[in-house]
Amino acid sequence: MAENLAGKVAVVTGGSRGIGRAIAQRLATEGADCLIVARTPENLATAADELAATGRRIETCAVDLRSLEGCEAVQGRLDDTFGRIDILVNCAGATQAGPFLDLSDDVWQDGFDLKFWGAVRLTRLLWPSLGEAKGTVINIVGGFARTPAADFMIGGAVNAAFANFSKALAGLGLRDDVNVNTVHPGQTVTDRLDQVFETRAAQAGITPDEFQQKIIERQGVRRLGKPDDVAALVAFLCSPEARHIQGTAIGVDGGATSGLF
Ligand SMILES: NC(=O)c1ccc[n+]([C@@H]2O[C@H](COP(=O)([O-])OP(=O)(O)OC[C@H]3O[C@@H](n4cnc5c(N)ncnc54)[C@H](OP(=O)(O)O)[C@@H]3O)[C@@H](O)[C@H]2O)c1
């Protein structure tokens, strides 16, 4: 694989599992050193060992991104390790699905604290360094930003706010020479989606495989997404070839979104 990102330093939040893990793998394979961020040290250590097989330098930061202190700790870890940044991928997110009347204020707040506020704070802290490096920010948002669903209201609202922030940030990026783009994954098979399918399948009285098949048929797609589908696009958007792509939002959903992107 071409080393399009040789010499770059990337911070990937949520880089221990799922989509973030695949993104870190792809960026490292293309030559970037990575700092991966998540809460669970054991998962970070496992991911870092695997990523190190690329030959790149991999560092970890075990923090909870739902607080300003957590985001500041990432900045501190970056200062102590690489001392610079070229690429920030905001991927950590975990919003709860469920019926509107069952979702408390705390659950709504929690969804915003991580995926929206975590990304806003970390981007604000790292923006001057990203500007110095003529860097790149990629925000991993999600198709519910544009296609709301009654049983995924928190995710939809968080994603819509995040997508709006991302577009505005791209305007600032024109001034400060930072590329900013948004990627909207469709339903993508990760631990998180497996858990959601297990719960929903149990509620429907069918197996998780049967539930997955129903989703595929309902969406009319050939298959569900894989984390590598998203990672490939992110790596391209971080490459020098993509420098003229600014402020856009691209779906990786197999065609599941029926409206205009
Ligand atoms: N999978 C999909 O179908 C899909 C579709 C559209 C959009 N997305 C978005 O893509 C992103 C990744 O999703 P995924 O399915 O890959 O999720 P995942 O497999 O559950 O991975 C989530 C990652 O975020 C980390 N994380 C969770 N809470 C955190 C916290 N408070 N502080 C720091 N790190 C935290 C997790 O590690 P720890 O738990 O150890 O902290 C893990 O590394 C999310 O923003 C999600 O909304 C996913």
Q: Using CA atoms, how far apart are residues 106 and 44, in angstroms rounded to an integer? A: 27
- Judge if 67 and 79 occupy the same domain: yes
CA of 248 to the centre of ligand 1 (A): 22
Q: Which helix (H) or strand (E) holds 180?
A: strand 179-185
- Judge if 50 and 149 occupy the same domain: yes
pLDDT tens digit sequence for 35-87:
999 999 999 999 999 999 999 999 999 999 999 999 999 999 999 999 999 99
Q: Is residue 239 part of a domain?
A: yes
- Would you place residue 199 in the very low, low, confident or very high pLDDT band (cuts 50, 70, 90)? confident
**Partners of residue 226 on adjacent β-strands:** none
Residue with CA nearest ligand 1 atom 1: 188
Burial 60-96 (b: 16+ CB within 10 A, else e): bbbbebbeeebbebbbebbeebbeebbbbbbbbbebb
pLDDT at res. 200: 82
Q: Which two tokens stand for residue 251?
A: 């779906």
What is the residue whose two structure tokens read 């900045």?
Answer: 75
Q: Using CA atoms, how far apart are residues 217 and 197, in angstroms rounded to an integer? A: 15
Q: Is residue 70 part of a domain?
A: yes
- Judge if 27 and 156 occupy the same domain: yes
Q: Using CA atoms, how far apart are residues 255 and 82, in angstroms rounded to an integer? A: 39
- Judge if 47 and 79 occupy the same domain: yes
Q: How many domains does the chain have?
A: 2
When the pLDDT of each residue in the chain is averaged and rounded to a whole number, the result is 96
Q: Using CA atoms, how far apart are residues 65 and 77, in angstroms rounded to an integer? A: 13
- Judge if 134 and 202 occupy the same domain: no
Q: Any idea which of 6-15, 90-99, 197-206, 223-232 has the lowest mean pLDDT?
A: 197-206
176 Cβ contact partners less than 8 Å away, ≥ 6 residues apart? 127, 130, 131
pLDDT tens digit sequence for 246-255:
999 999 999 9
- Judge if 208 and 147 occupy the same domain: no
Contacts 24+ apart (CB under 8 A), 107-111: 107/154, 108/154, 108/157, 110/66, 111/154, 111/155, 111/157, 111/158
| Segments forming the whole domain that contains residue 38 | 9-187+226-251
Residue with CA nearest ligand 1 atom 19: 18
Among 23, 26, 39, say which to mutate for ligand 1: greatest number of ligand atoms within 8 Å of CB: 39
CATH code for the domain of 102: 3.40.50.720
Q: Which two tokens stand for residue 30?
A: 């293309």
pLDDT surpasses 90 at 203: no
Q: Is residue 87 part of a domain?
A: yes
Q: Using CA atoms, how far apart are residues 51 and 250, in angstroms rounded to an integer? A: 26
Q: Is residue 27 part of a domain?
A: yes
Ligand 1 pocket residue status of 111, Cβ below 6 Å:
no
Q: Is residue 3 part of a domain?
A: no
- Judge if 110 and 208 occupy the same domain: no
- Judge if 199 and 236 occupy the same domain: no
Q: Is residue 230 part of a domain?
A: yes
Q: Is residue 2 part of a domain?
A: no
pLDDT tens digit sequence for 232-241:
999 999 999 9
Q: Is residue 220 part of a domain?
A: yes
In the predicted model, what is the mean pLDDT of residues 100-126? 98
- Judge if 33 and 150 occupy the same domain: yes
pLDDT at res. 259: 86
User: Phi/psi at 58 (nearest 5 deg)?
Assistant: -120, 125
